[in-house]
Each structure stands twice: as C-alpha cells, then as structure tokens.
C-alpha cells in the first residue's frame, strides 16, 4: 500500500468556462509533470471528452477516471467519480434527460468535443452551464446506483457549493466526501465551519487551465487506483485512508 496523489476535478475544453488549451495530451502531460498518479475528468454535466483523455493517457502512468460535475436543481455541484466509461455515460444520459437549454457559445463559451489529438469533433449543443431538473438526492442516488462516488464539489464556495450555497449539509444525503475550493485550506474550512464532522475533506484543483492542474491534490493511501480502493480510502476501511494535510498542498 502507498499514497497515490490524485487530482480528481479537472475540466477539459468541453466545459464552457474552461480554456480551449485544456486538451487531452496537454492535461496528461501536465498531470505527469506534477507527479499525479490519478486524474478525474469532470466536465460540467458531460463525460464526452473523458474517453479522449483516457486514450491520451495510455502508457503515461497517469490513471484517468471518468467523472462529471453535475449541477443539481438546487444549483449545487456534485462531483461524480466513476471507474468505467459505461457508468459515466449512463450518468450523462440520466443528466441530459432533464437538462434544458441550448448553449450560446458567444455568451457562455465554446463546448468543444475533441479526440486525443485535439482534433475538433464537434460542439456540444446542450447548455452544460445550466442546471438539471434532478434534485441533489436524486443525483447522489443515481451516482451510487451506477457504482460511483458522490462528492460535494468546492463545498465551501457560495457559487454552486453545497455548504456555501445551501448553508448546511442536508441530513441524510449520503455523500462520500466534501471537496474544498482549491484556495481553501482544511484549517480555514474548519475555522469557518467549526462544528463540521463527518465526511472526509478533499482538495482538488478544479482546473480550468493547464497551469492549475495539480496545484492542489489529495493523497489516498491504498493498493492501487481503482474506484473500489478510492471508496475504501474515503470510508477509512482496511488501512486505506485519505491523506490531506501530510501530503498537500503540493508545489510544482
């Protein structure tokens, strides 16, 4: 068992708010340079660019998990982490069933579908910046039903963060972890939310530009990078653990 460094919240050029330079090979090269063992491709309400990054990462030593940053009806962002593309695309189908609106690229930004060579395959027409009509509990339930992990994204942030936006952790919402905003340290978070106990605190970069990749990351003590091992680390089972303070933030 060892500590694997993971940054499970990266956007690609598919997210309207991300830079167009967030291309598969750029992301993988940057992740390898930062010494990351695992990355998560988490575009807003879509997993469509995850396969390209997974192909780009072959032989790089960087494990790529297909993820998604889902916007619930309450306008809270949930980071869904999956181990397999099938599950990620099943989640995408669920999300798109109740996602209204068409993107207007000149206002929200381009949503570029690419292959691993950064060739443009097309443009996603849905409004990925929009909110689904699924509630938080429906989103979390579906993630779990598909075998994924549900993490409250940048939970302390007022814009789209679970605690910042709703002001509380809804009772009975079975989340697997709480991600802090990249600039919020665990100590700062605990000062702001002094009564907080429970879910493991995670720090990922939420990178929208290449230089942000790996700027913060979280260590996971486990046997290998699999969804199952990550789940065990989040629950602190059988010697697996989340290693935040000791391991991060990493400077490049």
Partner 1 sequence: MTLRELVEALGLEILEAGNLDREVTQAYAADLLSDVLAHAAPGSLWITLQNHANVAAVAALKELAVLLVNGRRPDPDMLQRAREHKVTVLSSHLPAFDIAGRLYQAGLRGAQ
Q: Is 104 among the residues that bind partner 1 (CB under 8 A)?
A: yes
Question: Token digits for 6?
Answer: 């993971």
- What span, in angstroms and rounded, lies between the C-alpha atoms of 185 and 80? 22
Q: Is 108 in the site for partner 1 (CB under 8 A)?
A: yes
Nearer to partner 1, 74 or 84 (CB): 74
Minimum distance from CB of 182 to partner 1 (Å)?
A: 15
Q: Is 101 in the site for partner 1 (CB under 8 A)?
A: yes
By CB atoms closer than 10 A (0-12, 13-18, 19+), residue 73 is middle
- Among 159, 174, 211, 238, the residue binding partner 1 under the rule CB under 8 A is 159
Tell whether residue 155 is a contact of partner 1 (CB under 8 A): no
Looking at beta carbons only, is 165 or 235 nearer to partner 1? 165
Dihedral over Cα of 31, 249, 81, 18: its sign: negative
Region near partner 1 per CB under 8 A, out of 101-109, 112-120, 142-150, 209-217: 101-109
Smallest gap from Cβ 17 to partner 1, in A, equals: 7
**Residue 12 backbone dihedrals phi, psi, to 5 degrees:** -115, -175
Residues of this chain, 41-80, that bind partner 1 according to CB under 8 A: 73-75
Residue count at the site for partner 1 (CB under 8 A)? 13
Buried/exposed code over 30-51 (b: 16+ C-beta within 10 A; e: otherwise) = bbbebebbbbbbbbbbbbbbbb
Q: Annotate 142-180 with b (16+ C-beta within 10 A) or e (fewer).
A: bbeebebbbbbbbbbbeebbbbbbeeebeeebebbbbbb
Q: Which residues ranging from 16 to 45 are in contact with partner 1 (CB under 8 A)?
A: 17
Asked if 105 interacts with partner 1 (CB under 8 A), we say: no
d(CA 122, CA 114): 7
Least distance to partner 1, CB of residue 189, Å: 20
CB closer to partner 1 out of 26 and 72: 72
Q: Which residues contribute to the site for partner 1 (CB under 8 A)? A: 17, 73-75, 100-101, 104, 107-108, 129-131, 159
């Amino acid at each position: 068992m060892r500590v694997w460094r993971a940054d499970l919240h990266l956007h690609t050029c598919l997210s309207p708010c991300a830079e167009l330079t967030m291309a598969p090979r750029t992301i993988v090269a940057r992740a390898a340079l930062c010494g990351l063992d695992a990355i998560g491709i988490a575009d807003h309400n879509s997993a469509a660019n995850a396969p390209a990054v997974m192909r780009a990462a072959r032989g790089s030593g960087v494990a790529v998990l297909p993820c998604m940053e889902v916007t619930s009806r309450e306008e809270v962002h949930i980071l869904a982490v999956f181990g397999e593309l099938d599950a990620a695309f099943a989640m995408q189908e669920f999300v798109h069933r109740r996602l209204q609106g068409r993107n207007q690229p000149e206002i929200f930004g381009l949503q570029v579908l690419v292959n691993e060579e950064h060739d443009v395959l097309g443009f996603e027409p849905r409004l990925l910046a929009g909110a689904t009509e699924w509630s938080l509990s429906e989103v979390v339930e579906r993630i779990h039903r598909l075998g994924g992990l549900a993490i409250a994204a940048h939970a302390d942030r007022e814009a789209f963060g679970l605690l910042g936006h709703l002001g509380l952790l809804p009772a009975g919402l079975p989340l697997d972890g709480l991600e802090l905003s990249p600039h919020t340290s665990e100590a700062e978070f605990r000062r702001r939310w002094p009564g907080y106990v429970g879910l493991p605190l995670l720090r990922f970069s939420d990178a929208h530009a290449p230089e942000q990749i790996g700027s913060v990351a979280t260590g996971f003590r486990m046997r290998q990078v699999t969804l199952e091992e990550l789940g065990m680390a989040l629950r602190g089972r059988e010697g697996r653990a989340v290693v935040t303070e000791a391991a991060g933030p990493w400077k490049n």
